């Protein structure tokens, strides 16, 4: 019995000292487990005389109860402490500022495309699109550049090894002009569209990237003439650059798909190392800058597109979107447009809230 008492005291002390549930479990197994000292003590009852057993049994059971109760109590205490610690470690300070979330921005090219759509919509133009993987016929032939036309060689075309269903060559469109053909074929005349999008040429230096952006314009109706073209471009540039003093100069040129063909220049001045559009190119401190090509749509192109050239005529134009974005927003390296550098994008990019609208302004930059 004295042994039992000293075992009990040692056990209760160890239970009291246990700081982890594992240590406590060790004590439980050591006392109440199959080979624990309480279980062994109970086994001794079998060898006792009835009188001895009468005395010993309640004493052992009492010890067993005491140890079991101590373990239960300690277990509850340890579990409670663990929960407290977990809750303490998981508290959230609601007064802390929200963590910064990476924010995207609208690329200047996308913004300018939206600006174009907004301005031209006001002039009655719909936005048309065409495939970037084009065929030879839409990109060249229907635009009055047959197989042997020298202008084809000037386009540095990326060709695919595969051929189109009709046997023609497949290529990455070198300009947005094939959308003229597709739109006229689909819609007929009269038609008034712009077609902004990506174009590709095998060309790369500080001012040329293999992929760049153009916007095509097409107006086909009765009695359309070059005066309408000049007014349309001038009105567009005034709205786009948000200034009234835009002067446009049309210069005779040549494109297979227009006749007559003109290139259009705008007057600008150098301010610091930046070109600022505005004023007359022949004025003091000013010069002319070429922005794009245009002309009256060649009657052969109308025929290819299924429009009767004796009934309808019109003008077309094409200009570089990246170029006018650089002029308007002051970037000077075209290549940076397509590097995907987040610093460049956060500097030159637009907030998604800056939706270009004619009432709020097409050039809002926050
Ligand atoms: N497609 C021409 C190019 O990429 C640009 C162009 C010139 C488009 C005259 C036109 C146009 O619609 O009439 O160089």
Can you give the pLDDT at residue 366?
A: 47
Is 55 in a helix, a strand, or coil? Answer: helix
The ligand 1 atom at the shortest distance from the C-alpha of residue 295 is 13
Helix H or strand E segment including 160: strand 159-163
The ligand 1 atom at the shortest distance from the C-alpha of residue 319 is 5
Nearest to 199 by CA among 136, 157, 260: 157
pLDDT in single tens digits along all 366 residues of the chain = 678 889 999 999 999 999 999 999 999 999 998 999 998 888 888 888 888 888 888 889 999 999 999 999 999 999 999 999 999 888 888 898 887 877 889 999 999 999 999 999 999 999 999 999 999 999 999 999 988 887 787 778 999 998 878 788 999 999 999 999 999 999 999 999 999 999 999 988 878 899 999 999 999 999 999 999 999 999 999 999 999 999 999 999 999 999 999 999 999 999 988 899 999 999 999 999 999 999 999 999 999 999 999 999 999 999 999 999 999 998 988 889 999 999 999 999 999 888 888 887 786 554
The Cα–Cα gap between 115 and 121 comes to 10
Can you give the pLDDT at residue 365?
A: 57
CA of 321 relative to ligand 1 center, distance in Å: 13
Cβ 180 vs Cβ 296: under 8 Å = no
The token pair at 330 is 């002051």
Closest-CA residue, ligand 1 atom 13, reads 294
Can you give the pLDDT at residue 162?
A: 84
Can you give the pLDDT at residue 72?
A: 93
Q: Sort 299 into a burial class: Cβ within 10 Å, 0-12 / 13-18 / 19+.
A: middle
Can you give the pLDDT at residue 102?
A: 73
Mutation test residue for ligand 1: of 125, 142, 197, 257, the one with most atoms within 8 Å of CB: 257
CA of 175 relative to ligand 1 center, distance in Å: 7
Mutation test residue for ligand 1: of 293, 313, 320, the one with most atoms within 8 Å of CB: 293
Can you give the pLDDT at residue 364?
A: 58
Residues lining ligand 1, CB < 6 A? Answer: 175, 177, 216, 255, 258, 293-295, 316-318
The model's pTM is: 0.73
CA of 294 relative to ligand 1 center, distance in Å: 6
Nearest to 119 by CA among 346, 328, 351, 344: 328
């Amino acid at each position: 019995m004295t042994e039992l008492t000293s075992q009990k005291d040692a056990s209760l002390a160890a239970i009291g000292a246990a700081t982890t549930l594992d240590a406590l479990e060790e004590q439980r197994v050591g006392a109440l487990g199959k080979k624990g000292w309480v279980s062994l003590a109970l086994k001794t009852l079998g060898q006792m005389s009835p009188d001895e057993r009468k005395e010993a049994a309640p004493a052992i059971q009492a010890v067993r109860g005491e140890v079991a109760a101590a373990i239960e109590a300690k277990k509850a205490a340890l579990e409670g402490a663990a929960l407290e610690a977990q809750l303490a470690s998981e508290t959230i300070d609601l007064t802390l500022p929200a963590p910064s979330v990476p924010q995207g921005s609208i690329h200047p090219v996308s913004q300018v495309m939206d600006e174009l759509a907004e301005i031209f919509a006001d002039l009655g133009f719909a936005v048309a699109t065409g495939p970037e993987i084009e065929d030879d016929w839409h990109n060249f032939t229907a635009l009055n550049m047959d197989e042997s036309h020298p202008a084809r060689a000037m386009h540095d075309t990326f060709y695919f090894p595969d051929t189109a269903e009709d046997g023609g060559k497949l290529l990455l469109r070198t300009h947005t002009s094939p959308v003229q053909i597709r739109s006229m074929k689909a819609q007929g005349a009269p038609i008034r569209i712009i077609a902004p999008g990506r174009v590709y040429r095998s060309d790369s230096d500080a001012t040329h990237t293999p992929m760049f952006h153009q916007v095509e314009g097409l107006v086909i109706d009765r009695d359309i003439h070059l005066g309408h073209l000049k007014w349309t471009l001038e009105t567009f540039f005034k709205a786009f650059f948000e200034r009234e003093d835009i002067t446009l100069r049309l210069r005779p040129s040549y494109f297979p798909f227009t006749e007559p063909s003109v290139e259009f220049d705008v007057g600008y001045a150098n301010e610091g190392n930046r070109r600022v559009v505005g004023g007359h190119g022949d004025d003091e401190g000013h010069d002319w800058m070429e922005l794009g090509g245009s002309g009256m749509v060649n009657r052969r192109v109308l025929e290819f597109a299924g429009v009767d050239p004796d009934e309808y005529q019109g003008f077309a134009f094409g200009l570089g979107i990246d170029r006018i974005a650089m002029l308007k927003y002051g970037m000077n390296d075209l290549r940076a447009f397509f590097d995907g550098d987040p610093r460049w994008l956060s500097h030159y990019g637009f907030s998604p809230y800056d939706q270009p609208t004619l009432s709020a302004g097409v050039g809002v930059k926050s």
